[in-house]
Amino acid sequence: SQLKVKDLPQGATKAIKEISGVQRKPNDPALPENIRKPLEEWLAAERGYQVGNCDITVLLEAPKLTPYKQKIIDSIAGILGVEASCVSLKAKTAEGLGPIGRGEGIASLATVMLVKGV
């Protein structure tokens, strides 16, 4: 299947859920095999673009991401094929407001810079 740009935030959210243990399904295949290959194919097809860096903000009340932060960064860097220093990860709370604030879900915002012809 072909990966589309709109799928990247969902993929980042899934990666964070998997690594942090927020959502674990025993029969759910590992993310790198599901996302990395289609992502690489998509980037190659778009005239030689590569990931330059990635900035991710996660909105959640729990769990605290600090114990998982480096593992998440390393995993996302591996998926994107960049150094860990090219991935920025921040966690924010919703201060008790809405579904995220009540602990009913999490959200992520991801910005990826693509560099042509690196």
The DSSP line for 71-91 is HHHHHHHHHHTS-GGGEEEEE
Domain 5-116 has CATH 3.40.720.10: no
Q: What's residue 82's pLDDT?
A: 87
Q: What's residue 24's pLDDT?
A: 44
Q: What's residue 111's pLDDT?
A: 87
pLDDT tens, position by position, 58-77 = 999 988 889 999 999 998 88
Kindly give the parts of the chain with pLDDT less than 70: 1-47, 117-118
Helix 31-45 / helix 8-20 crossing angle, nearest 10 deg: 160
pTM for this entry:
0.62
Helix 31-45 / helix 69-80 crossing angle, nearest 10 deg: 40
Q: What's residue 49's pLDDT?
A: 75
CA dist 1 → 39, 43, 70, 100 (Å): 10, 14, 30, 31
